Structure 1
Amino acid sequence: MSPIPLRGPLSHEEPAELYRQMRRKHGPVAPVLLDGDIPAWLVLGYRELHQVTSDPGLFSRDSELWNQWDNIPEDWPLAPVIGRKQPSILYTVGERHRTRSAMLSNALDGVDPSELRAHAEQFADELIDSFCAAGSGDLIGQYAKLLPARVLARIYGWNDTKATALVASLTDMIDAGDRALAGEQHLYTAAQQLVAEKRVEPGDDVASRILADRSGFSDEEIVQDIMILLSAGHQPTADWIGNSLHLMLTDARFAASLFGGRSSVTEAMNEVLWEDTPTQNMPGRYATRDTHLGGVRINTGDLLLLGLQAANSDPHIRADHTALTGGNNAHFSFSHGEHRCPFPAQEVAEVIARTGIEVVLDRLPDIDLAVPAESLKRRQSPWLRGLTALPVRFAPTPALGGTGA
């Protein structure tokens, strides 16, 4: 059974074709190679992914179980993605995980939805002000890539000047390339400083609410959790905005929304979660004993990657779901089980993404692609799917602040 490299041209240019090839060759669970030819399994099947994420006793989140640690170099670029001995919520299990998850969910649940939307509108307007007078811009580099980090930095407790510096570090870390470790270190330092500041002077923010909780987690654990909350909240939300705007600009079904309509924004956002989800694949689960899954033998300590987009496009499920958009939320885009994205975090991401899209449609009503759709490129990452740029043109319009710049 020959494994397929997970990183390659198909993984970012035509991931749907890659998953089809894997499914034809191997079935619902395929052997893959990570950076450095490290073996793992990619769970492609919807039912199999549901099984893996629903059975933490057999498929644990405890990365100490991995049977490949002896083969992993210290400078492995995937270290920020597949970590070891990291005291974050990603790697806790059992009752301790449930307590920790409740702590973070409560802190996020304290975000006022109307204030969140107001923050998102403020920053969205400021970003559009920076290029609206030019009559053209890049909705990724000048907008979607920046908006979530600025909003999240505000609600987590950072001052506004920190947000822009965090974006590059977040991108480097999540793309798991050559600068991944440097990006992780910068984010770690920023989170350390935030926790230290909020210990001395708490405020009405997520970090302060976490620190005020009496669940008994250390400052180091809280630092790690804030890193996870920011990294997991920023780039997927940025890609949700970018992928949704891309769909609306290239698919005739959504043309009405570009000229004053709003009903299709929800449809576009939901369709992206099914067809072009920002988080394509994610680690991971580790087999606690020898078992079988999807017709293959899984050995104790094997790593299973969650193929979220592959499962969403599983033909066995798609045949049973004729209407996958318009309110059908049975996708895996937020994962599933104990380690799924907390519901308050999903709500925060949705408010930021929806507001970001609606502000674009309000401010730039005659927007159109500035380049042929087929020329648009995706980031070279098998983990998160997003555009490198989304050039657009529109009638020049003055900035709300009146400066035009």
Structure 2
Amino acid sequence: MTPESPYPAGTSTDPVPPPGCPAHDRGPGGLQRLYGADADHLGELYERLREEHGSVAPVLLHDDVPIWAVLGLTENLQMVRTPAVFTRDSRVWTPLREGMVKPDHPLMPHIAWQPICSHAEGDEHLRLRAAVQGAMTTIDHRSIRRLIGRYTQLLVNEFCEQGRAELVSQYSEHLPMAVMCELLGMPEEYNDRITEAARDALKGTETAIASNEYVMGCLTRLTARRRARSEDDFTSHLVNHPAGLNDDEVAQHLRVVLYAAYETTANLLANALRMVLTEPGFRAQLNGGQMTVPEAIEQSLWDEPPFSTVFAYFAKQDTELGGQRIRKGDGLLYAPAPGNVDPRVRPDLNANMQGNRSHLAFGGGPHECPGQDIGRAIADVGVDQLLTRLSDIQLDCDEDELRWRASIASRHLVELPVRFDPKPKQDVTLMPSPALVPPQRTDRLPGTMTGPAPAAPQPVAPRPEPVAPAAPEPAPGPQGIWPRLRRWWLGR
């Protein structure tokens, strides 16, 4: 007999567990909360839930709103690949329809139905997704890798002379946002505020709604500008696609693309760098050519997926999943973090998963992430070129001193302090040097070396004329890096 739906009819009368008990943070019906005391240890909580309930477990969101957490890899894939049974349209969600979810709920930016392809079905889904994919196809991936390389050079130039850096706040949080603002067509909007707002909007904090409104303001203004005057950027192609998206649809899809690309890549980049800095065998394989940076990225996507869970799928009819009875209107969390460590799929978590793309990091089914290659490119180039510029980089603290911040949506490093011998700045228009990790791919930027790392840097092929060394850059002025970058882009 399968268990009943977790939705409580009233408040539980069970006795309150003593402080320190694993059940202490349980709510109505004895269900485990995914917020509060256990929020910083969700990985451990998911494993307890797996032991107690199996691959699908009843849990509570903020304000004790009930939902299912899908913990098994197979069950997650079954859910996302069965659109006849499960939908992304939250308007069918029972707690929302019954008023349990208030307008100021911290997860409302994710809960509320929006006119976006990931919430649509049937012909409407095909229309909206075709517009997003069509705009994606206009992005030249060789050009984007050059763009990523330039921003990488600029960011590293800001701290390379100091011999120390904090890679989360100075690098991994900024590189994806800088690249995405450029791709969307709003480089002038890139600053610390939009970076912080995008991350905050995804955390489910008390300020998430205000942060989301700030980002939407930027994207709404961008949509209006491109409706009035098109340029060669993602937003213009989305506006002008034959699918005929209106301004609200365009702005909402820009938000989805920006959030997904930013949060995914910021976490992925930080996690990959942490693995390189803390696992000697991992770095040795990179230096020795036994592993490529893209393979290292896939390993990171297995071990630390950028999104722990994705809100959410909803049952369109009574069904069964993972041995649990799911009723029409029930909500289910798509959960890459526990799914990727499903013991039925990965009995040995130390097993090499390099190059294996069957993880859950980018979703699946009709709503699989259409921009995952952009995220991979940012992480690939970001890791590769940082290691090239700072070949002697080392962690500047004990590994057990690293701190994490977790929410329902994601788990990310708070800081990643590093040290290295001070290095001079480099011309952002040139490839970084010296090389540390020998590239193994054929789609590198022009001028990248291939093959085993030589004892000393050598050019790939002799050039007809020597290249004059770049003039040293002046010391940073009070205006900061991003005004200088804008002048460089404009050729001033």
Q: Give the match for residue 352 of structure 1.
A: 378
Q: What stretches of structure 1 of length at least 5 have no aligned partner? A: none
Question: Which range moved further: 391-400 or 139-148?
Answer: 391-400
Contact 2:318 2:327 survives alignment (8 Å):
yes
Correspondence for 1:392 among 418, 425, 433: 418
Q: Give the match for residue 30 of structure 2.
A: 2
Question: Which range moved further: 159-168 or 195-204?
Answer: 159-168
Q: Which structure shows the bigger proportion of residues in helix conformation?
A: 1
Q: Give the match for residue 113 of structure 1.
A: 141
User: Could you say which structure has the greater relative contact order, defined with CA pairs below 8 angstroms and 6 or more residues apart?
Assistant: 1
* Partner SS state of residue 318, structure 1: coil
> Amino acid of the residue matched to residue 376 of structure 1?
L
Q: Give the match for residue 271 of structure 1.
A: 299
Deviation at 1:261, TM superposition (A): 5.4
Q: Give the match for residue 103 of structure 2.
A: 74
After TM superposition, list the pairs within 5 Å mapping 1:45-60 onto structure 2: 45-60=72-87
Equivalents in 2 of 1:309, 1:260: separation in Å?
A: 30
Equivalences, count = 401
* Partner SS state of residue 367, structure 2: coil
Equivalents in 2 of 1:123, 1:296: separation in Å?
A: 48
Query: Greater Rg, structure 1 or structure 2?
Result: 2
Q: Give the match for residue 91 of structure 1.
A: 119
Correspondence for 1:42 among 54, 66, 69: 69
Cα 1:66–1:193 change in 2 (3 A) is same
Deviation at 1:131, TM superposition (A): 1.1
> Amino acid of the residue matched to residue 263 of structure 2?
Q
> Amino acid of the residue matched to residue 359 of structure 1?
Q
Deviation at 1:166, TM superposition (A): 1.7
Q: Give the match for residue 175 of structure 1.
A: 203
TM-score (norm: length of structure 1): 0.94
1:192 lines up with 2:220 in the alignment:
yes
Q: What stretches of structure 2 of length at least 5 have no aligned partner? A: 1-28, 428-472, 477-492
> Amino acid of the residue matched to residue 111 of structure 2?
I
Deviation track 1:31-79 (CA, whole Å, cap 9, x = no partner) reads 1110111110000112211111111111111110011110112211111
> Amino acid of the residue matched to residue 296 of structure 2?
A
Deviation track 1:78-134 (CA, whole Å, cap 9, x = no partner) reads 1112223x2222211112112211210111121111210111111111111111111
Deviation track 1:340-365 (CA, whole Å, cap 9, x = no partner) reads 101xx111111111111111101111
Q: Give the match for residue 322 of structure 2.
A: 294
Contact 2:116 2:128 survives alignment (8 Å):
no
Deviation track 1:212-233 (CA, whole Å, cap 9, x = no partner) reads 1111221111110001100111
Give % identity: 33
Question: Which range moved further: 129-138 or 311-320?
Answer: 311-320
Q: Give the match for residue 215 of structure 1.
A: 243
Q: Give the match for residue 63 of structure 1.
A: 90
Correspondence for 2:48 among 21, 41, 57: 21
Deviation at 1:10, TM superposition (A): 4.7
* Partner SS state of residue 411, structure 2: coil
* Partner SS state of residue 237, structure 1: helix
After TM superposition, list the pairs within 5 Å mapping 1:338-349 onto structure 2: 338-342=366-370, 345-349=371-375
1:232 lines up with 2:260 in the alignment:
yes
* Partner SS state of residue 406, structure 2: coil
Equivalents in 1 of 2:325, 2:195: separation in Å?
A: 41
Equivalents in 1 of 2:201, 2:364: separation in Å?
A: 23
> Amino acid of the residue matched to residue 65 of structure 2?
I
Correspondence for 1:243 among 271, 280, 286: 271
Deviation at 1:141, TM superposition (A): 0.2
> Amino acid of the residue matched to residue 16 of structure 1?
G
Deviation at 1:404, TM superposition (A): 5.7
Q: Give the match for residue 150 of structure 1.
A: 178
> Amino acid of the residue matched to residue 337 of structure 1?
G
Deviation at 1:242, TM superposition (A): 0.2
Cα 1:47–1:258 change in 2 (3 A) is closer
Deviation at 1:321, TM superposition (A): 10
Deviation at 1:388, TM superposition (A): 1.0
Correspondence for 1:363 among 379, 382, 389: 389
Deviation at 1:16, TM superposition (A): 3.3
Equivalents in 2 of 1:376, 1:332: separation in Å?
A: 25
Deviation at 1:253, TM superposition (A): 1.4
> Amino acid of the residue matched to residue 44 of structure 1?
L
> Amino acid of the residue matched to residue 401 of structure 2?
S
Contact 1:9 1:380 survives alignment (8 Å):
no
> Amino acid of the residue matched to residue 79 of structure 1?
M
Equivalents in 2 of 1:262, 1:322: separation in Å?
A: 17
> Amino acid of the residue matched to residue 293 of structure 1?
L
Equivalents in 2 of 1:200, 1:398: separation in Å?
A: 44
Deviation at 1:258, TM superposition (A): 7.0
Cα 1:204–1:227 change in 2 (3 A) is same
Q: Aligned-pair RMSD on alpha carbons? A: 1.9
> Amino acid of the residue matched to residue 35 of structure 1?
H
1:126 lines up with 2:170 in the alignment:
no
* Partner SS state of residue 132, structure 1: coil
Equivalents in 2 of 1:321, 1:371: separation in Å?
A: 25
TM-score (norm: length of structure 2): 0.78
Deviation at 1:285, TM superposition (A): 0.8
Equivalents in 2 of 1:367, 1:9: separation in Å?
A: 36
* Partner SS state of residue 137, structure 1: strand
* Partner SS state of residue 128, structure 1: helix
Cα 1:260–1:294 change in 2 (3 A) is closer
Cα 1:110–1:324 change in 2 (3 A) is farther
Q: Give the match for residue 446 of structure 2.
A: none
Deviation track 1:281-338 (CA, whole Å, cap 9, x = no partner) reads 1111111122222122212111100111211111112249996522211111101111
Q: Give the match for residue 165 of structure 1.
A: 193
